[in-house]
Chains A and B, each alone.
Chain A
Amino acid sequence: MHFLSRIATGAALVAMSAMLAVPAFSQGRGGGGPKPPEGPAPKTADGKPDFSGLWERAYTPDMSAYGRGQTPDPSLPDDPAPLPNPNARPKKLLPFTPLGKAQWESYDPANGDYTGSCMPFGLTRSVNSPDPLQIMQNAKYVGFLWEQNSWFHLARINGTHPKNLTPTWFGDTIAKWDGDTLVVDTIGFNGRTRLDTIGHPHSAQMHVTERYTRTDLGHIAYEITIDDPITYTKPWKNIRTFTLRPDWEIMEYSCEENNKDFFEGHIKATQDPNKPVGSK
């Protein structure tokens, strides 16, 4: 962007922020909520950490930015771009490959975002969603029940990835214990999703590693690492804190139910006709 244009845009954004009113419908659920329960991390009957419960997570629309409840990879360099307003959060520079950078810079959600037509968010974008997550667990499986669009996904504890995986939106997920941390390992993505709302790209060759540690009764320390050599020159991570919400119950969320924007043709259908990058 031209330098003067950047200044004008920045100034305009300051003006915008000054004019910013709270959209009537955008108030989040309980900006605070009750104090989370206190106590030691619970264990299952077989002595493993028990992650069961309904968890509130910070909405993470941009995995490169700082935010309440989330921290971008501290090893990445800071984004030197000036902040658009005093309240904006600083960002990190993701280690794009040339291909990844081209994908990132050409992305325009106005031309279509697959979530608008209620296609599956995929693993990372589900993790990033603002609606709560129910975790259910036994000795063989950990189940992740995302309220966002009522999707679920299972991790097979001590499982192995099958050969010749059929690529899917959420991938194939196995898990193992590393002490009291559950390490969740996912490959086999179809490459048709974006990492986050702002649209960071990934390929079908992405390998996602998530680490869940129940630090006490009320919290999970969560860390996700994106390893995708087609899109990024090195693995990078994002760190979160999940908070237990015993006062909530998970609710049904049918994205298709009344998606008038799509049904009435106000937005575009967005099934990318191109072969996803990194797919076989």
Chain B
Amino acid sequence: MLGLTPARPRDTFDLNLHRGMAYIDIAGPGGLSERFFMKTKLVVSLAGMLLSAALPMLAHHSFAAEFDDNKKLMLKGSVVKVEWMNPHIWLYVDAKDDNGKVVRWQCEGGPPNTLTRNGWTRDALKEGDQVTIDGFRAKDGSNTCNARSVTLPTGQKVFAGSAETPKAAE
């Protein structure tokens, strides 16, 4: 289980709640993109506080308006394309479904300006790279996800933290 250890020592995290709306404030200079916001659904199990909600970043609209925090997703597949554009980058990945059929997914990532200032470029991923994406499915059932992490076979997390010190974000 991952704790609240910040990616960098000077980052801190706040989880704020207002009538069921929650947002994370990554404090200090350079937090989340302004439009990150989500409405989260809390699921309290009989076993005690098993929580299905997690807090991926979405910048410009309610997370719950598009994604389902009860539908976690792990994709293992091959990068088809990276759209390095505002307001968020999008990754396109071909992954096999349970029947072995190759299915194309599109997953939303972070703001390109923020990633650029952290030293990342669109070339951090190239076509054919094998990645593992942890995220959340869209409510509409389309092959759309919000990517919480993108990991290369080496274990390096792409587009996390600073490109110069990627290990620091792991």
Query: Which of A9, A25, A130 counts the most B-chain CB atoms under 10 A from its CB?
Result: A25
Which of A108, A148, A261 has a CB less than 8 Å from the CB of B61?
A261
Residue A121 at the chain B interface, CB threshold 8 Å: yes
Interface stretch (choices A110-118, A162-170, A208-216): A110-118
Residue A88 at the chain B interface, CB threshold 8 Å: yes
A/B pair count, beta carbons within 8 Å: 299
Instruction: Report how many residues on chain A are interfacial, defined by Cβ distance under 8 Å.
Output: 80
Residue B79 at the chain A interface, CB threshold 8 Å: no
B1-20: contact bitstring with A at CB < 8 Å (1 yes, 0 no)? 11110111111111111110
Given A198-B21, A261-B66, do A24 and B60 touch, yes or no (CB 8 Å)? no
| B44 x A12 contact (CB < 8 A) | yes
Which residues of chain B from 122 to 161 have a CB within 8 Å of any chain A CB? 134, 138, 140, 142, 144, 147-150, 157-161
**Which residues of the other chain, B, contact A31 by a CB distance below 8 angstroms?**
6-11, 26, 28-30
**Which residues of the other chain, A, contact B114 by a CB distance below 8 angstroms?**
27-29, 130-131
Given A24-B158, A259-B60, do A61 and B86 touch, yes or no (CB 8 Å)? no
Which residues of chain A from 209 to 242 have a CB within 8 Å of any chain B CB? none
Which of A11, A16, A111, A265 has a CB less than 8 Å from the CB of B15?
A16
Which of A27, A84, A111, A131 has a CB less than 8 Å from the CB of B7?
A27
B35-68: contact bitstring with A at CB < 8 Å (1 yes, 0 no)? 1110110111000011101111110111011100
| A131 x B34 contact (CB < 8 A) | yes
**Which residues of the other chain, A, contact B60 by a CB distance below 8 angstroms?**
113, 115-116, 118, 255, 259, 261
Interface stretch (choices A41-49, A64-72, A178-186): A64-72
Which of B31, B83, B118, B147 has a CB less than 8 Å from the CB of A58?
B31
Interface stretch (choices A137-145, A152-160, A246-254, A272-280): A246-254
| A130 x B30 contact (CB < 8 A) | yes
| A21 x B61 contact (CB < 8 A) | no
Q: CA A9 – CA B51 in complex, angstroms?
A: 11
Query: Which of B33, B61, B108, B147 counts the most A-chain CB atoms under 10 A from its CB?
Result: B61
Which of B34, B54, B62, B113 has a CB less than 8 Å from the CB of A59?
B34
| A23 x B108 contact (CB < 8 A) | no
Given A8-B44, A131-B113, A260-B106, do A30 and B29 touch, yes or no (CB 8 Å)? yes
Residue A38 at the chain B interface, CB threshold 8 Å: no
Main secondary structure of the interface of A (DSSP, over half): loop
Distance to closest chain A CB from B105 (angstroms): 13
Q: CA A96 – CA B15 in complex, angstroms?
A: 24
| B26 x A28 contact (CB < 8 A) | yes
Residue B121 at the chain A interface, CB threshold 8 Å: no
Residue A125 at the chain B interface, CB threshold 8 Å: yes
Q: CA A109 – CA B38 in complex, angstroms?
A: 8
| A258 x B87 contact (CB < 8 A) | yes
| A27 x B162 contact (CB < 8 A) | yes
**Which residues of the other chain, B, contact A56 by a CB distance below 8 angstroms?**
29-30
| A257 x B19 contact (CB < 8 A) | no
**Complex: chain B residue closest to A82, CB-CB:** B17
Q: CA A228 – CA B39 in complex, angstroms?
A: 28
| A18 x B1 contact (CB < 8 A) | yes
Residue A197 at the chain B interface, CB threshold 8 Å: yes
Q: Residues of A at under 8 Å CB distance from B?
A: 1, 8-9, 11-33, 56-59, 61-62, 65, 67-69, 84-85, 87-89, 105, 108-113, 115-116, 118, 121, 125, 128-131, 147-148, 197-199, 243, 248, 251-255, 257-262, 264-268
